[in-house]
Amino acid sequence: MGSPVSAMWDQWNEHQGPSAPNEHVLTFVRRNFTLPVAPGTWAFDLGCGSGADARFLMECGFNVTGVDTSAVALANTQALVADMEPTLHVQQSSLSHCELPAKTYACAISVGALDAAGVDEARIAVPRLVDALKPGGKAILVFAADGDSRIAESPELELHGFTRREVESLIVLEYGLSAWIDSCTTTFQSGVTRQIDWIVTIAKR
Ligand SMILES: C[S@@+](CC[C@H](N)C(=O)[O-])C[C@H]1O[C@@H](n2cnc3c(N)ncnc32)[C@H](O)[C@@H]1O
C-alpha cells in the first residue's frame, strides 16, 4: 500500500471497475452451486475491485469476504451492495497477507488479481486460498497469460502474464484436491486487444 502501483489501482477502481460480473464467474457459480445457497454459506473474492462479482455472489445468497489492497475498491464494493442484507466483510490486504480462516469457505473467486500481484505473491496466495476452502469447496481463478495485450497496454499496472509452467507451480496437488488449467482468448476491436486468460478451477473433496 502506498506504492506508485497501488495508487494506479486506486485510480483504476475510480474509473474502470466493470459494472457486470465476470462471465467465467457467472457460469462457474451457476453450474457448481444450487442457488440460492443455504444461509450462512461463505465465499471470498481475492482482489474484489469495485465489487461486481462480490455483488453477484451476494445475490446468489453467499456471505462474502472481499479482499483488496485498494481502499477505493473496498469503498466502491461496500457502496455497490449497500441496498442488500449486510453480509459483506471487507479486508484491506494483499492477497498473500489476508486473513482467511481455514476450511470455512464453499466458494472462492479471484479475477484479474493474481496477474496484478505477480508470481511470487500468487505462490503464497493460492495455497492459502485452498486451505480456506472447506471440504466440497470450489474455486475459480481468472488471470492473464503471457501474450495478453493488456500487459503491454498498461505498463503502469505492472501486470504479469503467467506461463503454463508458472500456473502449474501455484497448485500443489495433495490428496483430495483436483485442479483444471484452461485458457480463454477473447479479442476486441477486430483483434487489436487480445485478452488471454488462464481459467483455473479447483475442487476440494
Ligand atoms: C484488474 S482489477 C480486478 C478487480 C475485480 N476482480 C474485477 O474483476 O473487476 C485488480 C484488483 O486487484 C487489486 N490488487 C492488485 N494487487 C493486489 C494485491 N497484491 N493484493 C490484493 N489486491 C490487489 C487492485 O487493487 C484491483 O482492485
Q: Which residue has the least CA distance to atom 10 on ligand 1? A: 113
150 is in which domain, residue-wise? 4-204
Q: Which three-class secondary structure state does DSSP give residue 160?
A: coil
Categorise residue 120: left if φ over 0, alpha if ψ from -120 to 50, beta otherwise. alpha
Tell me what pLDDT residue 200 has.
Answer: 98
- Inter-residue contact 92 to 124 (CB < 8 Å): no
Q: How sure is the predictor about 1, in pLDDT bands with cuts at 50, 70 and 90?
A: very low
Q: Which residues line ligand 1 (CB under 6 A)?
A: 9, 13, 17-18, 22, 47-49, 52-53, 68-70, 73, 94-95, 111-113, 116-117, 121
pLDDT at 174: 84
Query: Is pLDDT larger for residue 4 or for residue 135?
Result: 135
Q: What is the CATH number of the domain that holds 110?
A: 3.40.50.150
Average the pLDDT over 54-69 and give the result: 98
Protein residue closest via CA to atom 21 of ligand 1: 94
91 forms beta bridges with 67
Q: Give the single-character DSSP code of 38.
A: P
Q: How many domains does the chain have?
A: 1
| DSSP string for 52-101 | HHHHHHHHTT-EEEEEES-HHHHHHHHHHTTTS-S-EEEEE--TTT----
pLDDT score at 22: 98
Residues 115-126, mean pLDDT to the nearest whole number = 98
The answer to whether 84 touches 58, Cβ cutoff 8 Å, is yes
pLDDT at 17 over 90: no
14 Cα to the center of ligand 1, angstroms: 13
The Å distance, Cα 175 to ligand 1 centre, comes to 30
Whether the per-residue pLDDT at 142 is higher than 50: the answer is yes
Which band of pLDDT confidence, cut at 50, 70 and 90, is reported for residue 161? very high
